[in-house]
């Protein structure tokens, strides 16, 4: 989901380049990821890996030079985080080289299997936030003119929205190095540290108080979502996880979009309402809070920047009173609208304000995540080469108990990401079937109470019976 964040009270400080002598802070979201990394070091849970095929006469030297120039242009990619006083301090490296590992599998009989092994290993290989560049790449040669290319960024420095800038600049730089006519790219309008400084000045005083007051009221007394699990919850999550595909039929997904529009809401909010019914069927609860990431790039200068411009909203839904699905869509619309208007309060500040019960076994405020990508990842275009659209690689980790991701345009290429500490694959496979069944039933009968929808009633009864057997 890509939305514009809201504006608080009063005139906000202008987002501009840092002046000499200005501090170089970490952003609030960077600080949260740094602390999470300290709690669970040595995992790839916040890696952002993308893999693609390259066919044609690739100029490897030009690619490597392009990667180095890219990182030189964007300080956040060569920023490490030291903690001399127990708090993260960003340091921009002055001496560095982008890692471009090269593997030659042309003589291998099992090159595809070996290539997949290398990709999975590189995708999951952790970053050392105190030492490493936050961006690296590997090139696997399968044939003379056939390659697999994977690049990995740490989430503390990149996100989905950064990919377009990365690919646009790499394309220009690569062509320049191939023709001995180096590209002259304009300086970035801002560096990520400019945004971080702006953010610390923006979230203060009256603006911070108003945002905090809204979220305190919104989340007061929120219930913890308890999904039935196959395994006991460990005292300390391992963060191990995997994905199971969720591919909705095109006609069903289009029908959901049409219903959302007829209800005067967006496709995202319509699917979010369906997901709430799904979670209600599995938990039996009517008070449901989930997390959902939003892009935070509404202000001039941010669009071409690379960095961690994402916040996570807590969306709390009320399914009480046995509403119809159309009524529930109206409730979902209001919940998301209010969250967007007040989206400038970052998740770490929200947790500080609400102060939910803390336990090592669970994330505070929510354990389920919902995200809809506005569009697929852009494609890297290098002159004279054919490149497949990049795919995000499963790192074998899960940040949440359960997450649902869908691609907004078609509903294809979706998946459940789940904790293998808690769930078996067979359970998630059934969840994927149930989600489609619930979606189909709600579209067919949007104007009858949820308790009268046969699919909702049957799934709820089956889950309750299985939960009793597990207990």
Superfamily of domain 207-470: Nonribosomal peptide synthetase, condensation domain (3.30.559.30)
Given a cut of 90, whether residue 12 has pLDDT beyond it is no
Give yes or no for residue 8 having a pLDDT over 70: no
Q: Which DSSP category does 103 fall into?
A: E
What pLDDT score does 14 carry? 77
Residue 287 exposed, middle or buried by CB count within 10 Å (0-12, 13-18, 19+): middle
Q: How many helices (H) and strands (E) in the chain?
A: 12, 14
Q: β-strand 135-143 against 100-104: which pairing, if any?
A: parallel
The pLDDT confidence band at residue 298, using thresholds 50, 70 and 90, is low
Tokens found for residue 358: 């803390």
Tell me, what's the pLDDT at 469?
Answer: 63
> What percent of the chain has pLDDT above 90?
81
* pLDDT for 409 beyond 80: no
Confidence band (pLDDT; 50, 70, 90) for 4?
very low
DSSP state of 100: E
Q: Concatenated DSSP letters for 243-298? A: EEEE---HHHHHHHHHHHHHTTS-HHHHHHHHHHHHHHHHH--SEEEEEEEEE---
Q: What is the pTM of this model?
A: 0.92
Q: What is the pLDDT of residues 364-393, one digit of tens each?
A: 899 999 999 877 789 999 999 999 989 889
pLDDT score recorded for residue 1: 36
Spacing of C-alpha 181 from chain mean position: 37
Could you state, in order of their start, the residue ranges of all structural domains in the chain?
28-194, 207-470
- How would you label 378-404 residue by residue, b for 16+ Cβ within 10 Å and e otherwise? eebebeebebeebebbbbbbbbbbbbb
Tell me how far apart the alpha carbons of residues 310 and 5 are, in angstroms, rounded to a whole number. 10
> May I ask the CATH class of domain 28-194?
alpha beta
pLDDT band at 471 (very low <50, low <70, confident <90, very high): low
Q: How many CB atoms lie within 10 A of CB 138?
A: 22
How confident is the model at residue 274, as a pLDDT? Answer: 97
- Check whether 333 has a pLDDT greater than 70: yes
Is 207-470 in the same CATH topology as 28-194? Answer: yes
The span from the CA of 275 to the CA of 284, in Å, is 13
pLDDT in tens, 426-459: 999 999 999 999 999 999 999 999 999 999 999 9
pLDDT greater at residue 295 or residue 133: 133
pLDDT band at 9 (very low <50, low <70, confident <90, very high): very low
> Strand pairing partners for 417?
243, 403
With a cut of 70, say whether residue 346 has pLDDT above it: yes
């Amino acid at each position: 989901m890509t939305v514009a964040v809201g504006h608080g009270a009063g005139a906000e400080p202008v987002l501009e380049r840092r002046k000499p002598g200005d501090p170089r802070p970490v952003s609030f979201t960077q600080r949260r990821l740094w602390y999470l990394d300290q709690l669970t070091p040595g995992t790839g849970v916040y890696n952002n890996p993308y893999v693609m095929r390259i066919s044609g006469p690739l100029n490897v030297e030009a690619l490597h030079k392009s990667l180095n120039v890219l990182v030189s242009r964007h300080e956040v990619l060569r920023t490490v985080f030291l903690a001399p006083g127990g708090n993260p301090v960003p340091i921009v490296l002055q001496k560095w080289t982008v890692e471009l590992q090269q593997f030659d599998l042309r003589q291998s009989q099992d090159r595809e299997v070996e290539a997949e092994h290398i990709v999975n290993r590189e995708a999951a290989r952790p970053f050392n936030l105190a030492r490493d560049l936050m961006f690296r790449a590997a090139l696997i040669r399968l044939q003379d003119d056939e390659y697999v290319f994977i690049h990995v960024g740490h989430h503390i420095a990149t996100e989905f929205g950064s990919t377009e800038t990365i690919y646009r600049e790499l394309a220009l730089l690569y062509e320049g190095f191939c023709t001995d006519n180096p590209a002259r790219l304009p300086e970035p309008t801002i560096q990520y540290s400019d945004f971080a400084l702006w953010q610390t000045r923006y979230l203060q005083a009256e603006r911070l108080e108003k945002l905090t007051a809204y979220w305190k009221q919104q989340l007061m007394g929120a219930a913890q979502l308890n999904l039935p699990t196959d395994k006991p919850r460990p005292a300390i999550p391992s963060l191990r996880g995997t994905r199971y595909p969720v591919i909705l039929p095109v006609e069903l997904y289009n029908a959901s979009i049409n219903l959302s529009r007829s209800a005067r809401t967006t496709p995202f909010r319509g699917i979010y309402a369906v997901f709430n019914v799904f979670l209600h069927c599995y938990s039996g609860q009517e008070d449901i809070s989930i997390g959902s990431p939003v892009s935070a790039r509404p202000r001039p200068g941010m669009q071409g920047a690379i960095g961690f411009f994402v916040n996570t909203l807590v969306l709390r839904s009320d399914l009480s009173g046995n509403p119809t699905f159309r009524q529930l869509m109206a409730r979902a619309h209001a919940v998301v609208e209010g969250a967007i208007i007040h989206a400038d309060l970052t998740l770490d500040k929200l947790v500080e304000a609400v102060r939910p019960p803390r336990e090592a076994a669970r994330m505070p405020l929510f354990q389920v995540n919902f995200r809809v990508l506005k569009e697929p990842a852009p494609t890297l275009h290098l002159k004279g080469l054919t490149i497949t659209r990049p795919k995000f690689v499963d790192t074998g980790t899960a940040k949440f108990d359960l997450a649902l991701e869908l691609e907004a345009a078609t509903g294809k290429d979706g998946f459940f990401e789940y904790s293998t500490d808690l769930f078996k694959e067979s359970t998630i496979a059934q969840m994927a079937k149930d989600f489609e069944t619930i979606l189909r039933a709600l579209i067919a009968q949007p104007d009858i109470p949820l308790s009268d929808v046969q699919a909702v009633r049957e799934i709820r009864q089956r889950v309750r019976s299985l939960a009793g057997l597990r207990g």
